[in-house]
């Protein structure tokens, strides 16, 4: 079925609250030039607006085209009108934008959090995931990752933003609670993968501890940060600097040691021994294996 395209007065339009881009418009000279020369080729997707907005339609998809059209001076733009609920509107907006690199992970996290609230709370998680997948086009793993972030404290999501985009309350909290607060404004944002790792591996920890870890690992390389979170889970009482030194001390040649499926108690014992003896895990394991093989006469004495 071919959907009807309407020419709608630009003054009757506004960006819908469910649009993942919000009302933010970053001047795009290339898009403006294209619309100036060719007009709007792909219609905007809109829905009837809430009367309280004073507008007739809210733009679900096409806010960049809408803003570029204003710059060009168009008075009407082609639109397809759909009557959809908020969860579906969010999903459609995500589906159109998910391959664009200019939308940061925290925006998707907030929108999935909204969708999660909009979908009936009695819905089983597996069914809810299927619904979000169908509405957004995200892969299953991606949906589970963002759903994990719905349980994370708001401060973690705020750390995923550029410092100047964070709420004043969170910036004040950072200043009051974190070392080096005077330079916090220059901090690197927390990546989505690091935030998900904290949300899943440290979910039983206090919000204060999650925040401490998040802020500490934000500037670290991904591999080091992921290993550090694992060690924090096993050694919550140890200072983060101490754990970082331990993680950085494991040489790349020791990857065969890390790949074994160690029991948590054994991993904790190994790490404690490494720190106590000031030795990396590979050399520690090699020592114990040698001692055991010599004891059982599988290896001759040096």
Of 208 and 293, the one with more pLDDT: 208
d(CA 124, CA 116): 11
Q: Above 90 in pLDDT, residue 276? A: no
Q: What is the pLDDT of residue 284?
A: 81
50-54, 122-126, 239-243: least confident range: 122-126
Q: Above 50 in pLDDT, residue 13? A: yes
Q: Above 70 in pLDDT, residue 245? A: yes
Q: Above 50 in pLDDT, residue 254? A: no
Of 185 and 110, the one with more pLDDT: 110
Q: Above 80 in pLDDT, residue 112? A: yes
For the chain, the average pLDDT equals 86
pLDDT in tens, 21-36: 987 788 889 999 999 9
pLDDT in tens, 150-182: 889 988 999 999 888 888 887 777 777 665 544
pTM, two decimal places: 0.76
Q: What is the pLDDT of residue 214?
A: 92
Q: What is the pLDDT of residue 93?
A: 96
SS3 at position 85: coil
The mean pLDDT value for 87-113 works out to: 92
Place of tokens 């670290």: 220
The mean pLDDT value for 103-114 works out to: 92
Dihedral (C-alpha) 146, 149, 151, 157: value to the nearest 10 degrees? -140
Of 173 and 2, the one with more pLDDT: 173
Strand order in the sheet with 76-81: 6-9, 76-81, 44-48, 57-61, 13-15
Q: Above 60 in pLDDT, residue 289? A: yes
What count of Cα atoms within 13 Å lies in the side-chain half-sphere of residue 56?
A: 8
Q: What is the pLDDT of residue 260?
A: 58
d(CA 27, CA 67): 8
CATH number of 1-83: 3.90.1530.30
Q: What is the pLDDT of residue 81?
A: 96
SS3 at position 114: helix
70-79, 102-111, 173-182, 193-202: least confident range: 173-182
pLDDT band of residue 255 (cuts 50, 70, 90) is very low
The mean pLDDT value for 262-279 works out to: 75
Cβ atoms of 14 and 53 closer than 8 Å: yes
pLDDT band of residue 42 (cuts 50, 70, 90) is very high
The mean pLDDT value for 254-282 works out to: 68
């Amino acid at each position: 079925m071919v959907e009807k395209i309407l020419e709608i007065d630009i003054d009757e339009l506004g960006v819908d609250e469910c649009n993942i881009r919000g009302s933010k418009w970053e001047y795009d000279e290339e898009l403006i030039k294209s619309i100036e020369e060719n007009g709007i080729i792909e219609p905007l997707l809109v829905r009837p607006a809430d009367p309280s907005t004073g507008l007739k339609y809210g733009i679900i998809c096409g806010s960049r085209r809408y803003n570029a059209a204003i710059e060009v001076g168009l008075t009407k733009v082609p639109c397809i009108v759909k009557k959809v609920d908020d969860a579906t509107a969010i999903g459609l907006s995500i589906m159109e934008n998910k391959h664009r690199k200019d939308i940061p992970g925290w925006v998707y996290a907030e929108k999935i959090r909204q969708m999660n609230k909009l979908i009936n709370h009695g819905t089983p998680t597996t069914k809810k995931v299927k619904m979000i997948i169908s509405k957004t086009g995200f892969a299953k793993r991606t949906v589970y990752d963002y759903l994990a972030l719905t349980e994370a404290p708001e401060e973690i999501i705020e750390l995923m933003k550029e410092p100047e985009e964070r709420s004043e309350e969170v910036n004040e909290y950072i200043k009051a609670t974190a070392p080096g607060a005077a330079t916090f404004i220059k901090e690197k944002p927390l990546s989505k993968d690091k935030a998900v790792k904290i949300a899943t591996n440290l979910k039983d920890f206090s919000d204060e501890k999650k925040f401490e870890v998040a802020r500490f690992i934000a500037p670290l390389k991904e591999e080091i940060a992921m290993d550090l979170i694992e060690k924090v889970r096993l050694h919550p009482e140890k200072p983060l600097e101490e754990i970082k030194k331990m993680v950085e001390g494991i040489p790349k040649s020791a990857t065969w040691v890390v790949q074994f499926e160690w029991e948590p108690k054994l991993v904790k014992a190994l790490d404690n021994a490494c720190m106590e003896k000031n030795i990396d895990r590979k050399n520690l394991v090699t020592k114990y294996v040698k001692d055991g093989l010599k004891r059982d006469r599988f290896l001759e004495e040096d």
